[in-house]
Amino acid sequence: MSVPSEALARELAARLPPESVCTDRAERQRFALGGVPPQAVVYPSSEEEVATAVACCAELRAALVPWGGGARQRQVPPPWQYDVALVLSRLNRVLRYEPDDLTMTVQCGCRMDSLAAVLAARRQWLPFDVALPGESTVGGVVASATVGWERSGQLSTRDLLLGVTFVAGRGEVVRGGGSVVKNVAGYDMMRLVAGSWGTLGVVTQVTWKLLPEPPEKAVGWVGCRSLARAIEQALAGDRVRPQPSGLAVVGFGSGAAVADPQRAGVVVAYTGSAGEVQEGKSAFEEEVEDVHWFPHLGAATGLVRRIRDFSLVGPTHPWAAGLRLALLPSDLAACVEELTAFLDEDNTSVCIWPQRGTVYVRFTEQSERSLMRRAFLWAAEFAQEHRGWAWPDWWPEGWEFDAVSLPHLYLSRHIKDALDPMGIFSPGRYWRHW
């Protein structure tokens, strides 16, 4: 049960600077989840203020949800209880950048596009593509364990974390890892926090491992007559050596919009030295028919951006709902064969990352609700039969689904109880288990 709004606002205002707490109705509505606004919005300006806000909420049993740019908030269910939106946009400084050591320590509210610009000046990068980098923050990327479509040629968020600082459930500050590449200090807290969706604590600071920017990159497109043919071509291309750094299959609405009059196709990328890229392109052309290589990266920017941003809502992706399947790559062809029955050619888009076995399906506002529900039920059944995983990946307003089965749940629950004993962090958002 939510704490009375007057008592909550009074306690927060007593412990935090007046400019850090807002109870204005219009402002609260901006941070509504599942149609429910929080009772208060808190804008901490320091790690100490984050800890103070969390401690206050723990004492009052008030549930809070951390906010970065909000780009991923609808990828998980709305919370069971929602009293405070903890907006971290003011924690946006680069604390330490060591280009010679390839490390960077930043606050959680830093935007990913701003970090990319800083690193590009030294020809360095964080080797994963983040969807909507202008709206995504460091804290949100870590909380969601974001990976990009070029997964085989890049690394995941977890792979690059050297250290993380977060505020746990009673307001205590927890530091894990360190600020050097070779680090054995303490427990591996980074892997606990990455992918926890704000249910274990509030990330305030992150240390990244960086990589030199690859000198060359090539992007190609293969138009296909059907989604099934595109999968066939992509799987053949993934067997090529050297392996592509990225592969994606797009279909129906997305395929028609981004590159080709045909309704499906394959996007391939190679990165590395000039010799490595040329070797990869030649090997790919031996296995896959009719590859069109873009003459320069600028010509491929729109296509790559749409694939990168496909999983999230944005100006070119006004999704009403979405689902995601995680399968063995060997099961993708069977998945596509059955999935086609649930696709509305004009109002449904598909993007598949075959190297990871990930299938994204997106429905627009014009999609029939009954078709969406049938697709969600089919996906859950197919994933269970094929030892995979399926879940609503863009949460439709007002929908409820059964909690997905998670094999690690027993151990994870003990971690949740230890770090968040009052259960105040994003209750219900970890796939409806807590």
Residues 220 and 187 in one domain: no
Q: What is the CATH number of the domain that holds 128?
A: 3.30.465.10
Q: List the beta strands (DSSP E) in 15-120.
A: 21-22, 40-42, 64-67, 84-87, 94-98, 103-107
Residue 316 structure tokens:
């070119």
Q: What is the dihedral of CA 108, 114, 118, 123, to 10 degrees?
A: 110
In the chain, how many domains are there?
2
Rounded Cα–Cα distance for residues 117 and 150 (Å): 20
Residues 225 and 201 in one domain: no
Residues 187 and 242 in one domain: no
Query: Could you tell me if residue 428 is inside a domain?
Result: no
CA atoms within 13 A on the CB side of 79: 27
Residues 235 and 353 in one domain: yes
Residues 116 and 195 in one domain: yes
Residues 199 and 223 in one domain: no
Residues 297 and 200 in one domain: no
pLDDT tens, position by position, for the chain (434 residues)? 566 678 899 999 999 999 999 999 999 999 999 889 999 999 999 999 999 999 999 999 999 999 999 988 888 888 999 999 999 999 999 999 999 999 999 999 999 999 999 999 999 998 888 888 999 999 999 999 888 888 655 567 888 899 999 999 999 999 987 655 555 455 567 778 888 999 999 999 999 999 999 999 999 999 998 899 999 999 999 999 999 999 999 986 644 444 444 578 999 999 999 999 999 999 999 999 899 999 988 888 888 888 888 888 655 566 788 889 999 999 999 999 998 887 777 788 899 999 889 999 988 877 787 888 888 889 989 998 999 988 887 766 666 666 566 666 767 788 889 999 999 999 988 866 76
CA distances from 259 to 110, 111, 166, 192, 288 (A): 33, 29, 42, 39, 18
Query: Could you tell me if residue 364 is inside a domain?
Result: yes
Query: Could you tell me if residue 38 is inside a domain?
Result: no
Which residue range(s) make up the domain with 319? 216-394
| Closest CA relative to residue 303, chosen from 350, 268, 263 | 268
Residue 362 structure tokens:
């997106």
pTM of the prediction?
0.89
Residues 269 and 136 in one domain: no
400 DSSP assignment: -
The pLDDT of residue 317 is 65
Residues 242 and 387 in one domain: yes
